[in-house]
Amino acid sequence: MSDIPTLEDLEQQLGGLSGKRIFVRTDFNVPLAYSDDTTVSITDDFRIRAALPTIEWLTERGANVVCGSHLGRPFADGRTEPNPKYSMGPVRARLAELAPEVELLENLRFNPGETGNSDEFVAQLIAGPDGKRIDGYVNDAFGASHRSHASIVGPPRHVPSAMGRLLEKEVHVLLGLRNKPKHPFVAVLGGAKVSDKIGVIGALLEIVDEIIIGGAMCFTFFAAQGKPVGASLHEPDQIDVCQALMVKATELGKTIHLPDDITGVDAQGNFAQFGSRLGEGSIGYDIGPGSAAAFTDVVMDARMVFWNGPMGMFEDERFESGTRTVAQAMADTKAFTVVGGGDSAAALAKFRLDDEVDHVSTGGGASLELLENGDLPGLKALRND
- 143-196 pLDDT, tens digit per residue, is 999 999 999 999 999 999 999 999 999 999 999 999 999 999 999 999 988 898
My answer on whether 163 and 275 are in the same domain is: no
My answer on whether 146 and 220 are in the same domain is: no
Q: Are 150 and 126 in contact (CB under 8 A)?
A: no
382 domain residue, yes or no: no
Task: Please tell me whether residue 207 adopts helix, strand or coil conformation.
Answer: coil
Q: Are 147 and 380 in contact (CB under 8 A)?
A: no
**Residue after which a domain boundary falls, among 137, 168, 199:** 168
Q: Is the pLDDT of residue 1 over 80?
A: no
Q: What is the spatial distance between Cα 188 and Cα 213, in angstroms, rounded to a whole number?
A: 6
pLDDT score of 364: 86
My answer on whether 39 and 82 are in the same domain is: yes
pLDDT score of 35: 79
Q: Give the mean model confidence (pLDDT) for residues 6-23.
A: 97
Q: What CATH number is given to the structural domain containing 55?
A: 3.40.50.1260
My answer on whether 88 and 109 are in the same domain is: yes
Q: Are 140 and 164 in contact (CB under 8 A)?
A: yes
My answer on whether 147 and 192 are in the same domain is: no
Residue of 145, 32, 144 whose CA lies nearest to 86 = 32
Q: Give the mean model confidence (pLDDT) for residues 33-43.
A: 79
pLDDT score of 193: 87
Q: Is the pLDDT of residue 42 over 80?
A: yes
Q: Is the pLDDT of residue 252 over 80?
A: yes
Lowest mean pLDDT, pick from 88-102, 224-238, 360-374: 360-374
Q: What is the spatial distance between Cα 265 and Cα 148, in angstroms, rounded to a whole number?
A: 42
Please report, rounded to a whole number, the percentage of residues in the chain having pLDDT higher than 70.
99
Domain that holds residue 290: 181-372
